[in-house]
Structure formats: structure tokens, C-alpha cells
Chains A and B, each alone.
Chain A
Amino acid sequence: MKKTLSYLAWGALAVVAAFCLAGIALNRGEHVNSIWLVLASSCTYLIGFRFYGKFIAARVMTLNDQRATPAERLENGHDYEPTNKWIVFGHHFAAIAGPGPLVGPVLAAQFGYLPGTLWIIIGAVLGGAVQDFVILFASMRRDGKSLGQMAREEIGKLGGFVALLTVLLIMIILLAVVALVVVNALVGSPWGTFTIAATMPIAVFMGVYLRYWRPGKVLECSLIGFMMVVGGIFAGQWVAESPAWAPVFTLSSAALAVAIIIYGFFASALPVWLLLAPRDYLSTFVKLGVIFLLAVGILFVRPELELPAFTRFTDGTGPIFAGKIFPFCFITIACGAVSGFHSLISSGTTPKMIAKESHAWPVGYGAMLLESFVAVMAMIAACVMQPGVYFAVNSPAGIVGATPAAAVETISSWGFPVTVDQMQTLAKDVGERTLFYRTGGAPSLALGMAHIFARSGGGQAVIGFWYHFAIMFEALFILTIIDAGTRVGRFMLQDLLGHVHKSLGRTSWMPGVIGTSAVVVLAWGYFLYQGVRDPLGGINSLWPLFGIANQLLAAIALCVATTILIKMHRARYVWITGLPLAWLVTVTFSAAWQKIFSPLPRIGFLAQADQLEAALESGAIAAAKAAETQALIFNARLDAMVCGVFLVLVAVILIDSVRIWAGILRGTRTSEVAEAPFVLSRLNPEEV
């Protein structure tokens, strides 16, 4: 009886999921309520989790609770610690949730809400969650080894080296692109700039408080820090209205880029307890709180989507980034559907905390589904705006025209009416001077979130606060990624240089620290500055590069996962990781090929360089702009080269993996798995 009821309940859920998916997919010409997206995604996630996730756990990986996990066997009171599964779930989710699932869907909304939403839901259930789960399982069976170590052991030395090199290169592009998102969110905004600047002394105060005044009281300190940051948002409004202070905090994009580069250098070289760690604690809590608030806000307000299911930009002529749905929608939304970076987290801290093997199912598979839901919420936040407003905020001046009048004319001619008055009123409501050309996704996400929060309570009177609260939330954890990423890049570089000269590898030798920090900061700072100077807004070239890189890392992770499945004699289930791998290779290689070789200058880096060179040679560009144009030509070729390097690296690891798979399947190579030996678990799950 109980079983029959369970079948009926799951059957009903499947019908609801199918009905909602059909509702959002087939609806044309009428506004769709956001609740349809919420229902379609959550029902699909539940079914995916219960059936597909469980199938992988039981049949493919045969999770065994009798087998002691590394957390039990190697418990040391530090990183190896059997932990309650829901705490590990929250910890893992907090670690994988970054700006990617928030920004990507906002940018991909230029195609309409449908392509991105379907990719987020389907990609996560069949690809992203599978990758996270299998890598978590593999790392857990190998005492918590990293992706690089697993690649080296399972594929070979070459695979391990390529994985490490790819991570370093991806980090440089990632840091540049997220820094560009912050620059575009703060440009010409004294309120936003002041609020973010205020978080730095607040973080230093928190660091000193935590180290000397109240050691160990992190939660108490973070609460005080949060109240100070909220105070900073209110003070920011006063600063923006002050004739004396507003100009001090009104910065150009170039000035902001330089400020972030300088900040990145100091944050990397300073002791972590002073700036990085306190801000990291604060940003983690703010991030979880805001995601929870957004979910509650959407359920409470149930806003209608203003953007259509498809826009005219499915033809590849989009103003935010150029290119058709295939492949560009699938690389623009990486985190939220499939993110290679998650494989680094799944093979990092999380496997060392899992108490029972079966917990890997909710943690690895489930946390990714929750992240995917965050991406759906970001899509909703972007689509509740009037389409004209959405495109006016997100389109660069180089595409829509350098004046507000020209921009509204261009955008209205696309069938998305918007007026200068409308944009000015909106800017005034949120305490900004202008909302035109605020590319990068962060301002439009903040607008959408502010709209939802304000409708939940307070109305238009508080929309300015909520807009800047959302900007603060986005910038806060992006800056934490910049701090930590620069630091990690520095350690990687010091590790490499240590082979050249011992002192360069010492993390306590100040000249080495300063030198390597400067090299890493200059590497991502160069791409950031290039993005700032790009007349197409920078996001057009940098975000696809980041998306390609991130998805290529996912391809590496899936190569490792497939190799492990074959070595475990699970070749009949190889499609579980093989299909997402084949899809990602197709998407990323197509996108990278187009980004390098497309004859259209807005898509192809080389075509863009050729076009600029031809214009320079024909005298169409003024002599005063010649040096700037030369730099743009160089940058376009550099981007093409970076893209090509990514492709070669992943092709190497793919070919190496296929060679190993073929050898094992033909019987010419032994299939030894590098798992830790079986030890009987003595841990009672009730104890954790």
C-alpha cells in the first residue's frame, strides 16, 4: 500500500513537471508567471534526484555504507571529520555557489527565458550534478585526492600536468571577468563604490576583532560586520547625494580597474586573517541569506516574466554577446548547468567530511541541483524587467549608440520599446545617475532582485536600498574570489618557480611573495584592462572565453570520471559520464572554433583583428586612435591564442583518455583503480 502511494505521488510529480515544462515551452505571446519556472525546475530536480541520482548511487557507483569513508578512517580533528550530511550539504553548496550561476543566466536572457532555462534544468540533472557526484565519489574513495592528482593517477602524468595548467589559465580568465563585472557595476556610481570601499576597513576591523579582541567568535564578528555593511549602504546614499563626496567616489571604468588591480595585489600579499578571511566569512553568510531571501521573494511576489520565450537574437546578432543559441547559450551559462570548477570543490574539502558513502548522493548530486535552482532564480530576476530596460542596461555603447537617445532608438527599433525618461526615472529610483551601458549582468540582476524585494515589502521607497544591497552582495563575494584566486595563483606560481630557485618557492620570503603576487595580478589585470577598453564592453569577448574554459575543465573532470567508471568495470554505464562529456566537447569545441575563426568580426577574434587592421590601413581610424586600435588588434589575437591553447590542452587530455579507454576495453591495458583499500565502517550514522 505504502509503495503504491509512493508510486502515485512520484507519478503525480512527473505529470506536474511535464505540464509546467510544456507550459513554459509552448506559451507564446502571453506573459508567463515565474512560478511556472519554479515548479518546472523543482519538480524536475526532485525526479532527477530520486530516480537518476539514486540509480547512479546504487547501480553505477554502488555506494556502500559498510565501507569506512576517509573522514572516519583518517579523522584528525582538522579537515578529516565525519560530519552530519545536511551540514556537509550546506558547506558544499556554499563552496560551489559563486557569481557564475547568477551572472550567466542574466546574460543568456538575451535569447529569451526559454533556451537558458531549459539548459539550466536539463544540463544540471544530466550533466552538472552527475559530474559533481561522480568526482566526489571518486575523491572519497581515494582519501580526498584532488582532480589533478586523480587525473595523474588514472590517466597519466601528462593528464595531471594538463589539468593543473588548465586550472591556472582558467583562474586568470575567471579573475579578469569577475573583476570586470564589478567594474561595470560600480562605474559612475558613488553609492555603490562607497559601499564596496567601506567593506575593506570593515573587513580589517573584523580581522583585528577576531584575532585580538574576541578570538574564535566568528559568528558574532560576522554579525557585527554585516550590520556595519548595511550601515555602509545607508551612508552610501548620503555620499551619493553629497556635492563634496560624490565626485570622490564617482570613478571611471579605467580608474576602477586600476583600483581593483592594486587591491588584488595587496589582498594577495597581506596576511589572510587581516582582510581575506573576515570578508570571506561575511560574504558566505550574506550569500546564503540573499539566496534564501530571493527564493522567498519570488514565491511571495510571483512576478510575471516580461521577456518573451525567444527574442530575435536567437539569430546570433545579440547586443550583449554575439553568436547563436548553439553553442553560445551553453557556454554563457556554465555554472548553474555544468561547471568544471565544481570538480575542484568536489575533490577538495567535501570528500574529507562525508561520514557515510550514501551521503555523497545528496551532497554531490543534490547541492548541484540547488545551485541550478539559484540560476533559475537569476533568470527570473533578469526576465521580470521590461525587455527594453533589460537591453538598455546590458548593451554596450558600441552596439546601441553612444548617447541615451541613440540607444533607446536602436533598442526600440528591435521591438523592445524604452524611453530615455523611463530609464532616467528608474536610475533616480535606485540612486544612480544612469543605467545605460551597465554591461556585465550585475546591475540588471540587482535591478531584478531589487524589484522582487521591494514588491515583497516597502515598495518604491526602498528600491534604492535593495538595488545597492544586491550590488554589495555581488561585489562582496566577487572580491573574495579575486583575493583568494590571486593568492592561489601566487602559490601555484611559487610552487613552479621553486624548481628554478629555492627561495622563490618559499612563501615566507617577502621579495618572492611580492614578485609572484605582482605577476599573477598583472596577468588577470591585463585582461581586465583590455575588457574595460573594449568598445563592445569586454563581456562580449571575456565571458565566452571564461565559459569555454570552465566547460573545458568540466570535460577534463568527465574524462577522469569516465576513465574511473571503465576501470571499475562499469563500462556498460559509461554513457552516464560519456554523454555529458560528448555534449561538452561538441559545445566547447564549436564555440572555441567560432570565437577564433568566425568571419564575423563580432564573433571571431581573428576577424575582429583583421577588420581593425584594415580600417587602420585605409585611414578610416583617426591618427589619435591608432595606438589604441593597435592594442585592440593585439588583444583580439591574444584572445584567439588563449582560446586555442585551451582547445589544445583539452584535446591532449581527451586523446590520452581515449587511448586508455581503448586499451582497457581491448584488454591490452590493466584496469587498476587507485582506490583506498576497504575498511569496515564502525561509525553509527546517528552519532554524526
Chain B
Amino acid sequence: MKQLRAFWEIAIGLLRELSDENAYRRHLKAHGRAHSGEEWRKFSEQRLRAKYLKPKCC
């Protein structure tokens, strides 16, 4: 049961990492800010700009 829960946590953690939701949480924590539409847009623009400076793998 414990192992199943650990697997589930990793799977959800992976999905949140891939969807940038974890990165957004880290961003809020690092800057001591609260979630808002404006904050997400600011974060998202910065994140996506960096992300699409690199080619995607074939």
C-alpha cells in the first residue's frame, strides 16, 4: 500500500512537473507571492520564453 502511494505521488508529481504546475508553485514560494491570473501570466510568459529557445527532440 505504501509503495502504491509512493508510485501515485511520483506519477502525479511527474504530471505536475510536465504541466509546469510545480514550477509555478516554486515560483510563488520563491517570490513570496499569492496566486492570481496576472501572476500566472507573468510566470508563464517567462517560462515559455525560456522553454521555446531550445529545439524539441526528434
Query: Judging by beta carbons under 8 Å apart, are A90 and B17 in contact?
Result: yes
Given contacts A77-B30, A83-B17, A281-B19, contact A98 B57 (CB under 8 A): yes
Contact residues in B for A78 (Cβ distance below 8 Å):
23, 26-27, 30, 46-47, 50
Bound Cα distance A595, B38 (Å): 54
Could you tell me if B58 and A98 are in contact, using CB atoms closer than 8 angstroms?
A: yes
Complex Cα distance A281/B52, Å?
Answer: 13
> What's the Cα separation between A99 and B56 when bound, in Å?
11
**In the complex, what residues of B have CB within 8 A of residue A344's CB?**
54-55, 57
- Check B37 against A81 for contact (C-beta < 8 Å): no
Flag A487-510 by CB within 8 Å of B: 1 or 0 each: 110010000000000000000000
Find out whether the CB atom of A98 lies under 8 angstroms from the CB atom of B56. Answer: yes
- Is A485 part of the contact surface with B, judged by Cβ < 8 Å? yes
Q: Is A301 on the interface with B (CB-CB < 8 A)? A: no
A342 at the interface (CB under 8 A from B): yes
0/1 per residue, B12-35, Cβ < 8 Å to A? Answer: 011111111101101101110001
Cα(A87)–Cα(B11), bound, Å: 8
Contacts of B29 in A (CB 8 A): 77
Contact code string A193-237 (vs B, CB < 8 Å = 1, else 0): 000000000000000001110011011001000000000000000
Binding site secondary structure of chain B: helix
Interface residues on B, range: 35 or more
B58 near A335: Cβ-Cβ < 8 Å: yes
- B-contacting 9-mer, from A9-17, A44-52, A272-280, A555-563: A272-280
A550 contacts partner chain B, Cβ-Cβ < 8 Å? yes
Is the CB–CB distance between A481 and B52 below 8 Å? no
Partner of A84, one of B10, B31, B57: B10
- A81 and B26 alpha carbons, distance in the complex (Å): 9
A488 to B49, CA, bound (A): 10
Q: Once the chains are docked, how many angstroms separate the CA of A485 from the CA of B54? A: 8
The reply on A480 being an interface residue by CB < 8 A is yes
Q: Which chain A residue shows the least CB distance to B31?
A: A77
Q: How far is the CB of B49 from chain A (nearest CB, A)?
A: 7
In the bound complex, residues from chain A placing their C-beta under 8 Å from that of B54 are 344, 348-349, 488
Interface of A: prevailing SS = helix
In the assembled complex, A167 has its CB within 8 A of some CB on chain B: yes
A342 smallest CB distance to B (angstroms): 6
Contacts of B57 in A (CB 8 A): 95-98, 100, 335, 339, 341-342, 344-345
User: Across the interface, do B37 and A215 meet the contact criterion of CB distance under 8 Å?
Assistant: yes
- Bin the interface of chain A by size: 35 or more
Chain B residue at minimal CB-CB distance from A348: B54
Give Cα A90 to B16, complex, Å. Answer: 11
Residue of A nearest to B23 (CB): A78
Question: Which residue of B14, B36, B53, B55 contacts A91 across the interface (Cβ within 8 Å)?
Answer: B14
B54 nearest CB across to chain A (Å): 5
Known contacts being A81-B26, A219-B16, A219-B21, is A491 close to B53, with CB within 8 Å? yes
Instruction: Give the residue of B10, B18, B37 whose beta carbon is less than 8 angstroms from that of A285.
Output: B18
Looking at the assembled complex, report how far the CB atom of A481 sits from the nearest CB atom of chain B, in whole angstroms.
Answer: 5
The smallest C-beta distance from A366 to any residue of chain B, in angstroms, reads 14
Q: Which residues of A are in contact with B by a Cβ distance under 8 Å?
A: 76-79, 81, 83-84, 86-87, 90-91, 94-100, 167, 171, 174, 178, 210-212, 215-216, 218-219, 222, 272-273, 276-277, 281, 284-285, 288, 334-335, 339, 341-342, 344-345, 348-349, 480-481, 484-485, 487-488, 491, 546, 550
Q: Report B's interface with A, CB cutoff 8 A.
A: 10, 13-21, 23-24, 26-27, 29-31, 35-37, 40-41, 44-58
User: What are 25 A-B contacts with C-beta separation under 8 Å?
Assistant: A76-B30, A77-B31, A78-B26, A78-B27, A81-B23, A81-B26, A84-B13, A87-B10, A96-B57, A174-B58, A178-B58, A210-B44, A211-B40, A211-B41, A215-B35, A215-B37, A216-B21, A216-B35, A218-B19, A273-B45, A335-B58, A349-B54, A481-B56, A481-B58, A484-B56
